Structure 1
């Protein structure tokens, strides 16, 4: 939307991809470390060169046991944020890919990361 000023399913898919990138990297959509006129999407793209570089993109707070799940979600996020809208999957396909990837442990970790530890003690 920010580039085309059009809202449609493909722009929603892009936005969802950005949210996935935020969850997997632990970074905000725009940060000074990305460089001038760059965002999280371009930062991820410029840092993808191999499995080692992919692992360096993943939030270091995510335990090693969840890295494979995080990489699956990262791949889906990259598909969602591809430059050409016609190449982005539908939201239905994104949901299907997430179900197939089964990153449930990672989702639990992300949700747990954002909750208040004192609140957990009360449950």
Structure 2
């Protein structure tokens, strides 16, 4: 069974942020069998903010790239494999507030 706690919620929120950035569903056709949106994003960007352009949904072309990079950075912190490495939701909110 999965233990429900704040850090799991943070991970889920990170997945939602990635969905918004990429315009993709969390699971589906990512070109390789068994990849989810988190694995696909890591593969495409190699954790680099500068490669965010590779994953951005084309419908977000009007969004300043710096803001998209900040949201990407927050999303990647949220989806850290080890829950202790994930930020709290309070920290997430603060980081996103600074992104605008």
Match of 2:44 in 1: 47
Query: In the aligned structure 2, how far is the partner of 1:5 from the partner of 1:58?
Result: 31
Give 1:64 deviation, angstroms.
4.9
Query: In the aligned structure 2, how far is the partner of 1:30 from the partner of 1:84?
Result: 21
The answer (yes or no) to whether the contact 1:34–1:40 under 8 Å persists in 2 is no
Query: In the aligned structure 1, how far is the partner of 2:54 from the partner of 2:35?
Result: 19
Query: In the aligned structure 1, how far is the partner of 2:6 from the partner of 2:30?
Result: 30
The answer (yes or no) to whether the contact 2:30–2:36 under 8 Å persists in 1 is no
2:19 to 12, 15, 22: 22
1:5 to 2, 7, 16: 2
The gaps in structure 2 that reach 5 residues or longer are none
Match of 1:115 in 2: none
Dislocated runs of 4+, deviation >4 Å: none
RMSD: 1.5
Secondary structure, counterpart of 2:57 in structure 1: coil
The gaps in structure 1 that reach 5 residues or longer are 103-123
The answer (yes or no) to whether the contact 1:10–1:85 under 8 Å persists in 2 is yes
2:86 to 79, 85, 88: 88
More relative contact order, 1 or 2 (CA 8 Å, 6+ apart): 2
Q: Deviations over 1:76-122 (max 9, x none)?
A: 000000111000000000001011111xxxxxxxxxxxxxxxxxxxx
Q: Deviations over 1:36-91 (max 9, x none)?
A: 2210000000111452x321111111125522211110110000001110000000
